[in-house]
Structure 1
Amino acid sequence: MTDIQDPPAVERELRSMIAEAARLDPDVVGKLPADTPLFGPEIALTSLAGVVLLGAIDARFGVDVAALDLSLDSLESVATLTAFVATHLRAV
């Protein structure tokens, strides 16, 4: 189980969730730069995969990204998603 107070651990777990939602090799996603766009060519997250990812984040971390970030700017990249989730974990 990931220590949710450890931002690097949160990022590793989010990368795993992103890989699963996008049906990519977790090792590949794990090596991408943090500023890699989630909907860009490397990850190519679809809207359906995005919904799956948001559900997994809510189930694992208790952070409802869609309710807290109506513009979904947090889904810009691995880094923005990690920062958003980590911030809301600390707020709980």
Structure 2
Amino acid sequence: MVRELIAEAIGQDEAVVAALPGDTRLFGPEVGLSSLAGARLLDSVRERFGVDVAAEDLNLDALESIASLSGFVDQHQR
């Protein structure tokens, strides 16, 4: 589900994001998350899962990689 939101935020096909390894950096060249796309992603995560990443992770370490964001959402989901 998180990968689907990432794909939507960056305007990429879901299959492309689904094929990336979990340790792929969100702000790295493979995903290329921009600050605007990052804000859209955080909004989508909050709406879909009820997790406010920015409020609960002040350093935003959860946005390091696909796996870190997925793990953060899993741990904080309502």
* Alpha-carbon separation, structure 1, partners of 2:15 and 2:2: 13
Unpaired runs of at least 5, structure 1:
1-12
- CA positional deviation for 1:16: 0.6
**Distance in 2, Cα, partners of 1:41 & 1:64:** 25
Give 4+ residue runs of structure 1 displaced > 4 Å after superposition: none
- The residue that corresponds to 1:30 in the other structure is 18
The letter of the residue matching 2:28 is G
Q: Residues 29-75 of structure 1: CA distance to partner in whole angstroms, max 9, x if unpaired?
A: 00000000000000000000000000000001000000000100000
1:74 aligns with 2:49: no
Correspondence for 1:42 among 30, 50, 67: 30
> TM-score, structure 2 length as denominator?
0.97
In the other structure, the counterpart of 1:60 is 48
Greater radius of gyration (CA): 1
Q: Percent identity?
A: 56
Structure 2 segments unaligned to the other structure (5+ residues): none
Candidates 62, 71, 74, aligned match of 1:83? 71
**Deviation of 1:25 (Å):** 1.2
Structure 1 letter corresponding to 2:71? A
State the number of aligned residues: 78
Question: What TM-score do the two structures reach when normalised by structure 1?
Answer: 0.83
Q: In structure 2, what is the Cα distance between the partners aligned to 1:47 and 1:87?
A: 24
